[in-house]
Structure 1
Amino acid sequence: MLPITLFLWIAGEIAIYLAIGRFAFRADWVYAIAGAIGGLLGVRASINMVTWMFGMIFASPAPRLGFARTARLMLAEYGAFLLTFVLVIPFERLWMPADRLPPARQPIVLVHGYGCSRGVWWLLRRRLEKAGHVVASVSLFPPYTSMGKLVPQLRERIEQVCATTGASQVLLVGHSMGGLIARSYLARHGNERVARLITLATPHAGTELARIGFGQNAREMTPGSLWLSDMNAEKLPVPAIALRNAYDNYVMPQDNQRLDGARDIEMPAVGHLAMLYDQRIAQMLIDLLARTPS
């Protein structure tokens, strides 16, 4: 599973940095450890800078934020990246206990994005539950396969949630690629089990960043791909809302988050991962869900 894989990756990366510090530079343990931490943080800072470079080069028209707001946006996104991939997903069981699924009429099913797992929802799930919702999640694996191959896992989870809660339908909420997988599910299985779809910064028309991504799903999210063309030829079978981030650093051009047939709502300026932890986005989602009959 992804949490174990990511934990082993980070452990191996730190071991390599320590070895370089100790044997290549003959540094003391204190300096070698500091160098390893610096290497870990530096590589992830570089990854974040690449996403922002793509986001700016291929940006859709939007008002300028100014230097200070842009810097805060980028710093918050870097913090969210570290939190997600260094602390949360590798130690997912500590952050994300099993879903609590009491009887409910329309539980929410959260669908994560590219390269992630259900752990990314740990804070938003708490906020949704505090607002009175029953919330389920799913980890889709392997992380870099075709999106179509992940749909059966989502279908199985939806059926489990319905059986456990006694619900006949769920509300689907997908972040990034998760919104595409939710749409693929709807294209295959229709609206029997789904009452509404809400997507968060989903690349409905693809993203230029996918050109340097790993896996078949990255190829499918490339603008103009056959997978996207086939998907966008499908009519939405349920009411849908596309929450769009005009300053996104993973989905660009950012207007590719628009979805024909869905209500388009612009989010406050926020990073692609940071939105999962942002109180404003959580409140927007809670307000939208409150308008859904339950």
Structure 2
Amino acid sequence: MNGRLQRLTSLFRWIVGPLLALWAGSHWNPWVGLALLALFVAGPPLAMLPHFLVLRFIPPAPGLPTAPLGDLLQAWWREVVVVTKVFHWQQPWAEHREPDFLPPAEQARGRRGIVFLHGYSCNRGLWNGWMKALRARGTPFIALTQEPAFGSIDRYAPQVDAAMRALHERTGLAPLIVAHSMGGLSARAWWRSQGHPFDRIHRILTLGTPHHGTLLAKLGTTENARQMRGDSEWLNELARQEPPQVASHFDCLYGHCDQIVFPAETAVLPGARALHLPARGHLQLVFEPQAFDRALALLEETAEMNTAQRVSRAG
């Protein structure tokens, strides 16, 4: 569904919009046409700018300074580039360009796989760059488009479970989950639906996930947006039902220039390993080389290493 909506949006911005501007310029006034053209081309990037500038007035996360203006402007421009790429090409037109990679059992055995979970209003095309690179490495993966796009996060659990089982059965190893934004909550909801079995999951790498909600979700009206509000009963219940050792299975990448998930500390689970990335917007976290490198490092971690880390933190 979200792919179709994004195709319509992309067509309107880049084809219908300029044609309307051309028609208005020729039938009314050239300046009107130019103004409309500027609105379609430059309007969305300029509309994003206040989302970054407001972070100057958000109390910083513990241990972090307030985001410098230069970092915010840098993050804004990077975000403009990746948002244009993702929402006007990868997701609307190339959602299935990179198919899931499940090599024959004799090749996949012993090679830990990855399940990819996208965020709100996105689809599996978000991970095209990751999937291409992992296929070249021979790493098995499954990338989901979570449907319904605007339903309850709990409804994604069966899709996640099917992907986790398929990779586990093919490789013989519990998969790694890599999740952006809402996808991290999908991972937690799936794990809850299974009773938090530790043998089903290797680790979960979240990129800008609103683990404790985000202020921006107060503007959302869809069911999954309401669930991501910081004071939502859904988030509170999710946290109450998790055993204490759950967080030790998480790596949380976050940044204080994230214009979607803020305050910044909401993207970190207490007890998880955390990595702060400066001057990066929300979607840019997916395209950050450190995120991909962290995923590769997690694939090489053994179950024994994870167990030792949990015991150390418990002590």
With structure 1 as the length reference, what TM-score do the two structures score? 0.86
Relative to 1, partners in 2 of residues 1:193 and 1:75: Cα closer, same or farther, differing over 3 Å?
same
Alpha-carbon contact 1:144-1:214 (below 8 Å) kept: no
Paired amino acid for 1:203: P
Paired amino acid for 2:200: R
Measured in 2, the distance between the counterparts of 1:240 and 1:196 equals: 6
Superposition deviation, residue 54 in structure 1? 4.7
Flag the structure with more relative contact order, 1 or 2, with Cα contacts below 8 A and sequence separation at least 6.
Answer: 1
Paired amino acid for 1:207: T
Superposition deviation, residue 28 in structure 1? 8.9
Match of 1:83 among 63, 82, 85: 85
What's the CA shift string for 1:136-160, capped at 9, x where partnerless?
2110012211111122221222233
Write out aligned runs for 1:33-182 (5 A). Answer: 38-61=38-61, 62-64=64-66, 66-93=68-95, 96-102=97-103, 103-105=108-110, 106-130=112-136, 133-163=139-169, 165-182=170-187
Structure 2 stretches lacking a partner, 5+ long = 305-315
| Same amino acid, percent of matched pairs | 25
What's the CA shift string for 1:41-100, capped at 9, x where partnerless?
334214422432454443424335544443222101111111111111111247x32112
Alpha-carbon contact 2:211-2:266 (below 8 Å) kept: yes
Alpha-carbon contact 1:125-1:135 (below 8 Å) kept: yes
Superposition deviation, residue 217 in structure 1? 0.8
Relative to 1, partners in 2 of residues 1:160 and 1:18: Cα closer, same or farther, differing over 3 Å?
same
With structure 2 as the length reference, what TM-score do the two structures score? 0.81
Relative to 1, partners in 2 of residues 1:77 and 1:172: Cα closer, same or farther, differing over 3 Å?
same
Match of 1:272 among 270, 273, 282: 282
Alpha-carbon contact 2:21-2:37 (below 8 Å) kept: no
What's the CA shift string for 1:31-50, capped at 9, x where partnerless?
95x76653333342144224
Are 2:296 and 1:286 aligned?
yes
Measured in 2, the distance between the counterparts of 1:70 and 1:101 equals: 40
Alpha-carbon contact 1:44-1:82 (below 8 Å) kept: no
Superposition deviation, residue 161 in structure 1? 3.1
Report SS of the residue matched to 1:110.
strand
Measured in 2, the distance between the counterparts of 1:293 and 1:125 equals: 24
Paired amino acid for 1:197: I
Measured in 2, the distance between the counterparts of 1:224 and 1:159 equals: 33
Match of 1:221 among 217, 224, 228: 228
Report SS of the residue matched to 2:4.
helix
Measured in 1, the distance between the counterparts of 2:80 and 2:192 equals: 35
Paired amino acid for 1:169: A
CA RMSD of aligned residues (A): 2.8
Structure 1 stretches lacking a partner, 5+ long = none
Measured in 2, the distance between the counterparts of 1:132 and 1:268 equals: 31
Measured in 2, the distance between the counterparts of 1:210 and 1:197 equals: 23
Report SS of the residue matched to 2:281.
coil
Equivalent position of 2:270 in the other structure: 260
Measured in 1, the distance between the counterparts of 2:136 and 2:256 equals: 28
Superposition deviation, residue 181 in structure 1? 0.6
Where is the helix percentage greater, Structure 1 or Structure 2? 2
Aligned length: 290
Relative to 1, partners in 2 of residues 1:275 and 1:182: Cα closer, same or farther, differing over 3 Å?
same
